[in-house]
Amino acid sequence: MKLAKSIEEIRSDFPILSTKAHGKPLIYLDNGATTQKPLQVINMMEELYRTANANVHRGVHYLSDLVSDRYEAARETVRAFINARSREEIIFTAGTTASINAVAFSFGERFVGEGDEIVISGMEHHANIVPWQMLCERKKAKLKIIPFSDEGVLDLEAYRNLLSERTRIVAVTHVSNVLGTINPVKEIVAEAHRHGIPVLIDGAQGIQHGLVDVTDLDCDFYVFSGHKVYGPNGIGVLYGKADLLNELPPYQGGGDMVANVTFEKTTYSVLPFKFEAGTTNFTGAIGLAAALDYLSTLGREAVAEREQALLATATAGLSAIEGLRIYGTAPHKVSVISFLPGVIHQYDAGMILDKMGIAVRTGTHCAQPLMERFGISGNIRASIAFYNTEAEIEALVRGVRKVTEMFA
């Protein structure tokens, strides 16, 4: 598969990539934390504020109709991108964290009680741990953890054994933000469904790397953030199967989510509006749709292929450095590579790389239980996007080599 544009054209779509950091050309390898935005998104956001700003679903006037139509068109773009069955299954939220909290609350209120169990994995981001812990605390339920191997592969046998008649929901990440592992979520969903248990997939690190087909996965919820898929901040998606969403109580009350309000009783609106209380981030949603369109135009398979090629270069280059350990060597990985060069502290390495203009993430990456599993206080993560170049990856490898010399 070939990208629809040359790498030079792609890079000129992302003006921030020509930034100088400490006087050196910026090498941005922190795409797992947030991705950069193409002009197609930036210009769209600006154009919206210039020409199409009014509250959605409120007015009968020209501007409100205009922007409401575009907001609903954005919903359709998201639906098509993840292949959901219907538009009403796409709920706009503030991001992955907000989506998971919404499910933990609404689903928890409806289905979780004392002694029930919730299954998550040991490689979750804090966003897919803490909301469930809070639910467990509220309902006196128990959290069960799927273990994983040193390579970063989930133990599916242990998973099967964890499922019980008390399991109410399984919440697992599509892709580990630290290890890069692409989890066998289709299999995980199928296994849970054999017991009638619904599954939430945290797609924060999955959506940007290739194809997500929620109908094929058959997951009950799929959540992701706009800013990690080249879209704006503060917008995210909660996909949920309509039947299940219809059964859940809303998690926020306010305008636009109601059918009829009296002081005695309020009835709620239909999907998706039932879960979109208040003025939504409609500019964000339209910007997100622009980002998804951008990826679709480039070619999603080609994007994934290019990232795999860059990952292979990074893995080969870093592996050749003596004493360097890579965390996450699963056979199916996205372009995320976490490592520690010998006994050098991640913060030391990160600071030196920064001075070379190389942006990586250091620390626990919001996955402290995972770090504990490996017995480390953190590591360095390079997360690669399709707009990165082979030359940048080589500069990273050289930079890490230099770090090992400095701290030798």
Partner 1 sequence: MTINEIQDQIIEEFAQFGDWMERYEYLIDLGRSLPPFDERHKTPEYLIEGCQSKVWLFPSFENGIITFSAESDALITRGIVALLVRVFSGRTPAEIVDANIYFIEKIGLRENLSPTRSNGLLAMMKQMRLYALAYKSKQEHS
Which sequence positions are flagged as catalytic?
366
User: Distance between CA 96 and CA 118 in Å, rounded?
Assistant: 19
Q: Element (H or E) spanning 147, and its range?
A: none
Binding site for partner 1 (CB under 8 A): 22, 344-348, 350-352, 355, 362-364, 377-378, 406-407
**Cβ at position 351, least distance to partner 1 in Å:** 6
**Cβ at position 397, least distance to partner 1 in Å:** 18
User: Distance between CA 207 and CA 202 in Å, rounded?
Assistant: 9
Q: Are the CB atoms for 198 and 244 separated by under 8 Å?
A: yes
Instruction: Label residue 12 left, alpha or beta by phi (over 0 means left) and psi (-120 to 50 means alpha).
Output: alpha
Q: Which is nearer to partner 1, 77 or 177 (CB)?
A: 177
Q: Are the CB atoms for 277 and 257 separated by under 8 Å?
A: yes
**Cβ at position 403, least distance to partner 1 in Å:** 10
**Cβ at position 94, least distance to partner 1 in Å:** 21
Strands (E) across 148-219 are located at: 167-173, 199-202
Assign 3-class secondary structure to 296-364.
Answer: HHHCHHHHHHHHHHHHHHHHHHHHCCCCEEEECCCCCECCEEEEEECCCCHHHHHHHHHHCCEECEEEC
**Token pair for 190:** 């199928």
Q: Which is nearer to partner 1, 236 or 399 (CB)?
A: 399
Q: Which is nearer to partner 1, 234 or 363 (CB)?
A: 363
**Cβ at position 99, least distance to partner 1 in Å:** 24
Q: Collapse the DSSP code of 26 into the 3-class scheme (helix H, G, I; strand E, B; otherwise coil) and give the result.
A: coil
Handedness of CA 365, 367, 369, 370 (dihedral sign): negative
Q: Which is nearer to partner 1, 101 or 346 (CB)?
A: 346
**Cβ at position 179, least distance to partner 1 in Å:** 20
Strand partners, 268: 258
Let me know the angle formed at the C-alpha of 188 by 147 and 80, rounded to the nearest 5 degrees. 130
